[in-house]
Amino acid sequence: MLRLALAFSIALGLPVAATAQDAPTLYFSAIPDDDETRLTERFGKIADYLSDELGIPVEYIPVKSYAAAVTAFRNDQIQLAWFGGLSGVQARLAVPDSVAIAQGAEDEEFVTYFIANDETGIEPSETFPEEALAGLRFTFGAQTSTSGRLMPEYFIREETGQAPDELFSDVGFSGDHSQTLRLVASGSYQVGALNYAIYDKATANETSESDATTVIWQTPPYPDYNWTIRGDVEERWGEGFVGEVQEALVGMENEELLASFPRSAFIPADNALYTPIEETARALDLIE
């Protein structure tokens, strides 16, 4: 009943800060950057792993949006989360003393792919293909996604001197990376920007969506995903708990678990790594 009440409250956006404090369970979530079914499968296994490593109950709580993940973290409905670069910054600003403790080995130098429907005839380019993209229909991912919105918008402005709605005839927000791929593959949008790992996985699986699209440009690298933990967890689980969680994440060696992210390994992280993300978000007025 506790599990159902917590999930229901998060779905409605209701504050239930005391709930986690009344139970010896560590609750965590993740930004919904993929299909909910895949996320639940992925993170249910991560919950089992962390429970075994930490010796406490650990439970994954799904959320419906990037904003809901940050809100759940702020309200203490979850104490740990797999965030994107921007949502991690937002969460840490909302909860004093919270820290980024791990990132994927690939997250040191993450990139965004710009993809196009093959019917556009746009060829891959090492330079931003401004002329070919002008006037086309374009979709980002979620509005607060680092790889699906923040950084691609930053580079659009850097490369062209234009805002996205000035360069493209129509600008949308798909909600997640997989949906961006589907929308571009179907022709609903001619071009889109998404997390490179999602696209590479679709290509490896030889999906019809990847067959119908082409990577036409990729951004320069930037820091992205991270595990962030609330700054008050040691009041609940004891001194040294932050280090224990970090050790469990960095020590994850199960290839199946890592492949589900997909990441080759997790490595230590800290808040300072994400200063460029915070500065970019402020420049674009995405955070105050």
What is the side-by-side order of every strand in the sheet holding 58-60?
58-60, 26-30, 80-83, 226-229, 99-104, 266-268
- Which domain does 164 fall in, by range? 111-218
User: What is the rounded CA–CA span in Å between residue 272 and residue 260?
Assistant: 27
Q: Which residue has the higher pLDDT, 16 or 172?
A: 172
Together in a domain, 198 and 249: no
Statement to judge: residues 90 and 125 lie in one domain: no
* Of 218, 235, 262, the domain-final residue: 218
- Structure confidence at residue 10 (pLDDT): 53
Choose one of 218, 242, 265: the last residue of a domain: 218
Q: Which of 170, 145, 168 is nearest to 85 (CA)?
A: 145
Angle at 214 between CA 209 and CA 218, to 5 degrees: 120
CB atoms within 10 A of CB 149: 25
Spatial CB neighbours of 41, under 8 Å, sequence gap ≥ 6: 260
Instruction: With respect to residue 263, please indicate whether it lies within any of the assigned structural domains.
Output: yes
Residue type, 264: S
Q: Are residues 100 and 243 in the same domain?
A: yes
Flag whether 288 is in a domain: no
For residue 13, pLDDT beyond 90: no
Domain count, the chain: 2
pLDDT digits (tens, 9 = 90+) for 254-285: 999 998 888 999 999 999 999 989 998 998 88
Same domain, 132 and 229: no
H or E element that contains 63: none
Question: What six digits make up the tokens of 192?
Answer: 């889109």
**Least confident interval from 24-28, 38-42, 63-67:** 38-42
* Main-chain phi, psi angles of 26, to 5 degrees: -90, 120
Query: Cβ distance 198 to 34 under 8 Å?
Result: yes
Whether residues 204 and 232 share a domain: the answer is no
Last residue of a domain, one of 184, 202, 218: 218
Same-domain pairing of 35 and 71:
yes
pLDDT on residue 63: 93
d(CA 233, CA 241): 7
User: Between residues 79 and 283, which one has the greater pLDDT?
Assistant: 79
31 found inside a domain? yes
Enter the pTM of the model: 0.77
CATH of the domain at 247: 3.40.190.10
What is the rounded CA–CA span in Å between residue 82 and residue 31?
Answer: 7
